[in-house]
Amino acid sequence: MYKILKSEKLADKIYLMDVEAPRVARHCQPGQFIIVKMDEKGERIPLTICDYDREKGIVTIVFQIVGVSTARMAELKTGDAFSDFVGPLGCASELISESVEELKKKSIVFVAGGVGTAPVYPQVKWLHEQGIDVDVIVGAKTKDMLILEEEMRKVAGNLYVTTDDGSYVRKGMGTDVLKDLVNNEGKKYDLCIAIGPLIMMKFVSLLTKELGIPTVVSMNPIMVDGTGMCGACRLQVGDEIKFACVDGPEFDGHKVDFDQAMKRQQMYKTEEGRAMLKLTEGDTHHGGCGNCD
């Protein structure tokens, strides 16, 4: 059992939990994810790691209520425990494998949308610990939906906050801020990392392609099973078929077919849709087993 050491509501339907998981904490890296189960019959829920403390053996997760399982999960309190807390899974951020000296030569901007702020945070924190300051754009629908602002402010070189409705700091999307920084403030970026809803990452990628900025996106929003077996996170990346949970979750944003990913996400919600995807995609439907038999 994996004890919940802290349970906190960050915003409407968004929760943070500190979980006692020493083995996961010892090995996890920014960009990876875990899978939690509340009990033996519970649904497997993949969640990107928000933070970790290796010495204390603690892993921090942030999740949003999107269905019955996450609604039940939100009811868990400090002192309760998860039956399973499996990880770390997926590939770590490519930043981790680069030399610090090379990273210091780059100008990097992160664009976080909504709950995507949670997986952005550990990457920015890791870079800060290496002595690398980066720009971070955080967007939310309203001020009340903004999360981890103070935590992000402590590790970001520059933090730019925007809200869709203009209820806090400025009005607009993350793309509006990025465009303003490049076109009006003369910022030049060597890399953009965007994490958030699919539609947000799509438009960030379209903008950065226009601006000539290499872009990495995290496709964790489309993961379901977390092992490549269910076929939910199958996506087209350039000329290749990839699976977010086993090949990612990070990919070249300029190569990801976001329209296909969003269409598949809608189809996967129904039994008929899943059957159609399985039929039309054949052997490429699954990433783990390689076939549908």
pLDDT-derived band at 287, boundaries 50, 70, 90:
low
- The model's confidence at residue 25, banded by pLDDT at 50, 70 and 90, is very high
Q: Is the pLDDT of residue 247 over 90?
A: no
> Are 55 and 123 contained in the same domain?
no
Choosing from 168, 200, 218, the residue where a domain stops is 218
Q: What is the pLDDT of residue 236?
A: 84
Statement to judge: residues 77 and 114 lie in one domain: no
Q: Give the predicted TM-score (pTM) of the model.
A: 0.86
User: pLDDT per residue over 190-203, tens digit each?
Assistant: 999 999 999 999 99
Confidence of residue 275 (pLDDT cuts 50, 70, 90): low
Mean pLDDT of the chain: 87
Q: Is residue 43 part of a domain?
A: yes
In the predicted model, is pLDDT for residue 66 greater than 50?
yes
Domain identity same for 80 and 111: no
User: In angstroms, rounded to a whole number, what is the distance separating the alpha carbons of residues 86 and 226?
Assistant: 10
Q: Does residue 273 lie within any of the structural domains? A: no
Here the tokens at position 204 are 């960030």
| Range of lowest pLDDT (43-57, 67-81, 113-127, 266-280) | 266-280
pLDDT tens, residue by residue, 188-246: 999 999 999 999 999 999 999 999 999 999 988 776 666 666 667 778 899 888 888 78
83 in a structural domain: yes
Asked if the structure places residue 129 within a domain, the reply is yes
How far, in Å, CA of 185 to CA of 182, rounded?
Answer: 6
Q: Which phi and psi angles does 43 have, rounded to 5°?
A: -75, 145
CATH number of the domain residue 14 falls in: 2.40.30.10
Last residue of a domain, one of 197, 218, 239: 218
- Does the structure show a pLDDT above 70 at 142? yes
The answer as to whether 111 is a domain residue is yes
Question: Is residue 85 domain-shared with residue 140, that is, in the same domain?
Answer: no
Number of domains comprising the chain: 2
Single out the residue in 156, 183, 218 at which a domain terminates. 218
Domain for residue 293, yes or no? no
Whichever domain contains 190, its CATH number is: 3.40.50.80
pLDDT band (50, 70, 90) for residue 286: low
Q: Is residue 122 part of a domain?
A: yes
**Whole domain around residue 79: which residue ranges?**
2-89
Confidence check: pLDDT of 118 > 70 = yes
